[in-house]
């Protein structure tokens, strides 16, 4: 192979390797710390709630920035579902998972008074140019609450923030995300308590 072609091949290989490295997405977990979600002395609302997360949402993998040009990937709906269930269970007399949130008759048969549909948006970043775990994380959690007929009666929107330093996330690379998720769940519980329309 001529020297010029060899040089061009090496340059193309270097560019491809650099692109592969910067496009790397590391798997992390952003599941909230359930031990920090405190239950009130009694449920705030004497009614049964149901929540709906579709199978497509549970399977949704999201990729956001990390440090050093890398990215991180995770499943926000799947990982936050247990926290959502706990927060709703603290707020209502009981909570159930719904597969058919638009079936008004089925909802009445189950005794569901309120239907909760969460929407989760996330983002992350890092101040480090040398380590890939994110040092800052944001979780936006919006919940539309409707009656069995589908009429929306309330909507909550909270934003959870989480930060972690390199010394903290050694061994727990999703720590900033977990803190943001936990913060969002705590704020959701507080927001639900302020909705008079659910009483």
| Residue-range domains of the chain with CATH | 25-198 (3.40.50)
d(CA 38, CA 189): 9
Residues 115-171: tens digit of each pLDDT: 999 999 999 999 888 889 999 999 999 999 999 999 999 999 999 999 999 888 888
DSSP class of 37: -
Query: Which run of H or E residues covers position 190?
Result: helix 175-192
Strand segments (E) across the chain: 25-27, 45-51, 62-65, 71-74, 92-97, 112-125, 136-146, 152-163
pLDDT-derived band at 20 (thresholds 50, 70, 90) equals very low
Phi, psi angles (nearest 5°) of residue 18: -65, -40
Please tell me the distance from the alpha carbon of residue 143 to that of residue 69, in angstroms, as a whole number.
Answer: 33
| Cα gap 73→177, rounded to integer Å | 11
| Residue 55 pLDDT > 90 | yes
Average pLDDT, stretch 18-31? 74
Looking at residue 115, its pLDDT comes to: 97
pTM: 0.86
Residue 171 burial (C-beta neighbours within 10 Å; 0-12, 13-18, 19+): exposed
The predicted-structure confidence for 82-128, as pLDDT tens digits, reads as follows 999 999 999 999 999 999 899 988 898 999 999 999 999 999 999 88
């Amino acid at each position: 192979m001529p020297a010029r072609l060899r040089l061009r091949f090496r340059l193309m290989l270097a560019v491809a390797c650099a692109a592969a490295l910067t496009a790397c997405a590391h798997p992390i977990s952003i599941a909230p710390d359930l031990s920090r979600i405190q239950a009130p002395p009694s449920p705030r609302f004497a009614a049964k709630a149901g929540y709906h997360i579709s199978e497509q949402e549970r399977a949704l993998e999201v990729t956001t920035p990390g440090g050093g040009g890398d990215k991180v990937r995770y499943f926000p709906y799947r990982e936050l579902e247990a926290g959502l269930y706990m927060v709703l269970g603290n707020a209502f007399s009981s909570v159930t998972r719904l597969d058919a949130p638009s079936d008004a008759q089925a909802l009445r048969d189950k005794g569901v008074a309120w239907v909760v549909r969460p929407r989760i948006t996330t983002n992350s970043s890092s101040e480090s140019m040398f380590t890939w775990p994110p040092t800052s994380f944001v979780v936006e959690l919006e919940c539309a609450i409707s009656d069995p007929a589908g009429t929306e009666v309330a909507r909550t929107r909270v934003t959870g923030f989480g930060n972690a330093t390199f010394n903290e996330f050694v061994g727990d690379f999703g720590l900033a995300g977990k803190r943001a998720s936990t913060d969002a769940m705590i704020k959701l519980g507080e927001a639900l308590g302020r909705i008079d329309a659910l009483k």
